[in-house]
Amino acid sequence: MVFDLKWGILATGGIAETFTRDLLIAPEKRGTTDVTHTVTAVGSSSKKSSAESFIDRLQIPSPVTAYGSYEEVVKDPAVQAVYIGSPHSHHYQHAMLALHAGKHVLCEKALTINAAQAKRLFELAKQKGLFFMEAVWTRFFPLSIQVRELIQNGAIGEVLRVVSDLSIGVHPETEWSLDHRMVNKDLAGGALLDLGIYSLTWVFQILYHTLPRSQRKPPISHCLAYVTLPGNGTSTAVAMTAFRVGTDPDGHGSAGPSIKIQGTKGHIHVFGPAFAPQWYRVIPSSQPNEPTTVQDVHMPVPEGRGMFWEADEVARCLRDGKLESEGLPWEESLVIMEVLDEVRRQGGTDLLRES
């Protein structure tokens, strides 16, 4: 039997629109046959007309209800799960609102503005028996899953180093006004929480997530210009992010891969932006008297942006009675947030560490 998940959308901005457009794409177009999605409610934080415009613009099929507040969305009995697409400065209060109303939650990254907030959300979700997941869509790309499996199967031996970068090459002074979420301190703006989370995602899913849970060791960040994470044994990682420098300046991979995974038996290079990788290359180490065969694997998104894969994961978890996803468990989101806290502490900008 196909499981249909009924969603309430909190927010009507750009990221909420991208997510919702992906929800409306027929699942079979990406090879999904076991779960489907229905948008039953959309809420604006300020006025009902914004939600109505959102519904009209995206041509969301009826029945769907427009609301002028988030409180109305989470009280709607037709809504099973809530997607939170507000600025991350407000994720904590909106996730609390949804959990207290008894709704399952998919909350955009960065999950909260500090680890203390994230921990309280997980505790409440557990207490109420509700599913909760940070919406790091990259985790659920088939390409990401395949790369993790290659690492676990020893395709490049022991991983010694991961170098990951997400930088976008813009001038903040001319690109955004001071009230834009990317630079507005009141909205927890800045490269770290908005871009750096993706660099850390690749570090964690390679050096941390591929290990059995009993062997995962919380890393410590060491440097401010970039983040260095010690792995097991001799492995290390560097996660970088910046506004002014671009990882891929021409958009064609000419500058090289955005992620380099270096092991004792070879390398894996991942191309495309860290948040939405498009293809990867496996480069075995050369052996005496043996030819080296480089393998390129292209896995573009079939349609849309690729956010539907994380939505599919939520639906499957709810169908199977799970409170958290193995793809991004609560503990891992919390550890990543602790790293972000530590980076800010070392940089003297740890005001957001306070709950």
pLDDT of residue 230: 52
Query: Does residue 223 contact residue 238 with C-beta atoms inside 8 Å?
Result: no
Cis peptide before 110 (omega within 30 of 0): yes
Pick the CATH number of 142-300 from 3.40.50.300, 3.30.360.10, 3.30.2420.10, 1.20.1200.10: 3.30.360.10
Q: How far apart are CA 183 and CA 170, in angstroms?
A: 12
Question: Tens-digit pLDDT profile for the chain (355 aa)?
Answer: 999 999 999 999 999 999 999 999 999 999 999 999 999 999 999 999 999 999 999 999 999 999 999 999 999 999 999 999 999 899 999 999 999 999 999 999 999 999 999 999 999 999 999 999 999 999 999 999 999 999 999 999 999 999 999 999 999 888 988 888 888 888 888 888 889 899 999 999 999 999 888 888 765 544 444 455 555 557 888 899 999 999 999 888 888 999 999 999 999 999 999 999 999 999 999 877 777 789 999 999 999 999 999 999 999 999 999 999 999 999 999 999 998 888 888 777 764 544 4
Q: How far apart are CA 5 and CA 318, in angstroms?
A: 8
3-137+310-326 adopts what CATH topology?
A: Rossmann fold (3.40.50)
Q: Residue ranges of the domains in the chain?
A: 3-137+310-326, 142-300
Query: Does residue 341 contact residue 353 with C-beta atoms inside 8 Å?
Result: yes
Bridge-based pairing of strands 65-67 and 35-43 is: parallel
pLDDT cut 70: percent of the chain above it: 94
Domains 3-137+310-326 and 142-300 in one fold: no
Q: How much is the pTM? A: 0.93
Place of tokens 């604006």: 44
